[in-house]
C-alpha cells in the first residue's frame, strides 16, 4: 500500500529492498539494449519524459540518494534536503542515456556494496525529510527500491508496445 512516506510501496509489494536495488542495473541495461537507441528516445506516456531522460534522472537520483544514506549514517537525526527533479532535468536531453546508464550502474554497485556493510543499528537510524516526515535508513532504501520498480515498469511498457508492433 502506497503511503505519503513511500508512494512507490505498491511497486515493492513486500520484496526485499536490497535485492531490488541489486537487480535494477541488470534489468535496466537489458531493457535499454532490447529497446535500442530509437525506442529509448520515446516517452513511456504522452507528455512524460523519454526513457533516456528517465535514465538520466535515475543516475542523478543514485548520486543524491547515496549521499543521503551516508548522511543518515554519519549524523545524528539527519534532516534530508529535498531536490526538484524537474529543475535537475534541464540538461538531460543533451546528455544522453548511454553515459547516464553507465554512471547509474557504477554508482548503484558501489552503493549496494556500501549498504551490505551496514549494521542493523545503522539501517534503523532515523532521519527527517521535510516532505515525507520521519523515516529510517531502511525505509529510505525501500523507497528507492520502489522508485526503481516504478521506472522499470515504464521501460517495460515501451518494450511491450514495441513487441506488439506499436
Domain of 108, CATH number, reads: 1.20.120.450
Q: Is residue 3 part of a domain?
A: no
Strand partners, 43: 50
pLDDT category at 2 given cuts 50, 70, 90 is low
Q: Is residue 160 part of a domain?
A: no
Q: Is residue 12 part of a domain?
A: no
Q: Summarize pLDDT for 82-107 with one digit per residue, the tens.
A: 999 999 989 998 888 899 999 999 99
Q: Is residue 8 part of a domain?
A: no
pLDDT category at 162 given cuts 50, 70, 90 is confident
The rounded percent of the chain whose pLDDT value lies above 90 is: 80
What is the mean predicted confidence (pLDDT) over 30-40?
A: 94
- Comparing 27 with 4, the larger pLDDT belongs to 27
Q: Is residue 159 part of a domain?
A: no
Residue range of the domain that includes 68: 17-152
Q: Is residue 121 part of a domain?
A: yes
Q: What is the pLDDT of residue 166?
A: 67
Residue 72 contacts residue 78 (beta carbons within 8 Å): yes
DSSP letter string, the chain = ---SS-TTHHHHTT--HHHHHHHHHHHHHHHHHHHHHHHHTSBSSTTS-BHHHHHHHHHHHHHHHHHHHHHHHHSSSEEPPP--HHHHGGGHHHH-HHHHHHHHHHHHHHHHHHHHT--HHHHT-EEEETTTEEEEHHHHHHHHHHHHHHHHHHHHHHHHHHHTT-
Only one residue has cell 522499470, namely 152
* 35 C-beta neighbours (distance < 10 Å), count: 18
Question: Domains in the chain: how many in total?
Answer: 1
Residues 57, 100: Cα–Cα separation, whole Å: 8
What is the mean predicted confidence (pLDDT) over 11-37?
A: 94
Q: Is residue 58 part of a domain?
A: yes
Q: Summarize pLDDT for 39-64 with one digit per residue, the tens.
A: 999 998 999 999 999 999 999 999 99
Q: Is residue 136 part of a domain?
A: yes
What is the mean predicted confidence (pLDDT) over 63-78?
A: 96
Amino acid at each position: 500500500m502506497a503511503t505519503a512516506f513511500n508512494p512507490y510501496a505498491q511497486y515493492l509489494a513486500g520484496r526485499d529492498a536490497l535485492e531490488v536495488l541489486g537487480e535494477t542495473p541488470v534489468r535496466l541495461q537489458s531493457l535499454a539494449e532490447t529497446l535500442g537507441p530509437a525506442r529509448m528516445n520515446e516517452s513511456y506516456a504522452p507528455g512524460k519524459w523519454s526513457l533516456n531522460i528517465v535514465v538520466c534522472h535515475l543516475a542523478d537520483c543514485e548520486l543524491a540518494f547515496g549521499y543521503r544514506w551516508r548522511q543518515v549514517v554519519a549524523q545524528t537525526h539527519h534532516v534530508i534536503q529535498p531536490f526538484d527533479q524537474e529543475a535537475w532535468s534541464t540538461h538531460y536531453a543533451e546528455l544522453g542515456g548511454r553515459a547516464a546508464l553507465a554512471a547509474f550502474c557504477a554508482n548503484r554497485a558501489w552503493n549496494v556494496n556500501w549498504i551490505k556493510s551496514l549494521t542493523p543499528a545503522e539501517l534503523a537510524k532515523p532521519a527527517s525529510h521535510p516532505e515525507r516526515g520521519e523515516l529510517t535508513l531502511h525505509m529510505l532504501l525501500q523507497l528507492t527500491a520502489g522508485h526503481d520498480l516504478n521506472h522499470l515498469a515504464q521501460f517495460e511498457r515501451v518494450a511491450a508496445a514495441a513487441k506488439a508492433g506499436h
